[in-house]
Amino acid sequence: MEANEALDRLRIIVEMIDRCISPVTPLILLQIKEVALGIEDEKSIGECEVLVQPVNNRFILSCDASIKENPGGPSAVGVVIEQPDGAKLKLSQLSPATSNNQAEYDAIYFALTSLMGLNNNPGAEVEVRSDSQLIIRQLTGEIECRDEQLKKRRDLILELVRSLPVPVIFQWRPRNSTPELKQANYICQDALGVRRH
């Protein structure tokens, strides 16, 4: 990997981590940011909480994104995490993505980083659901990704998946086909302040 490419990748990682930093950010993300930037976050690392604690079996991450103008932005992501105990966590965040496909990738990345606190639990599984057939097919290797911005996002997600101690599967579902995908859609539209559709 060339130095410029490595710096570009590091810059994207730092930007994506910064978008995920919140009061409930998993400890590992703050440590990655500290090492990557060579700085300490203002909040003491010891005060951070793990966002999701595994109980058993499967986490289902329903992800969606919305953009006011495609291309252009602004955009937002919405995620509904169904935990094995039946509890649901609803998250949203603005995204710097300038295209709908970039935002769809950001939604999946945001959802997966919420699980970085998973302990080694061999019984747990993660299912990522999205209504973007293109993104899911690129993530599963079914089709090639030719766009450089999308390729960088795809590669970061695949690196993150490899770092998780549990299996992750990607599933395409039609738009609003489950209550959770519909909620994720509403969450990102609300974050952008646009009318729900």
The tens digit of pLDDT for each residue in 120-167 reads 455 789 999 999 999 999 999 999 999 999 999 999 999 999 988 889
Q: Give the model's pLDDT for residue 4.
A: 65
Tell me the per-residue pLDDT of 28-60, one tens digit each, with 9 for 90 and over: 454 454 444 444 433 333 333 344 444 458 899
Does the domain at residues 52-192 carry the CATH identifier 3.30.420.10?
Answer: yes
- The answer to whether residues 55 and 85 touch, using CB atoms and an 8 Å cutoff, is yes
| Cα–Cα distance for residue pair 155/30, rounded to 1 Å | 21
The set of residues, in sequence order, having a beta carbon less than 8 Å from that of 191 and lying 6+ positions away, is 66, 76, 77, 78, 92, 93, 94
Digit-coded pLDDT (tens) for 73-88: 899 999 999 988 888 9
pTM above 0.85, yes or no: no
Q: Which of 169, 175, 136 has the alpha carbon at shortest distance from 154?
A: 136
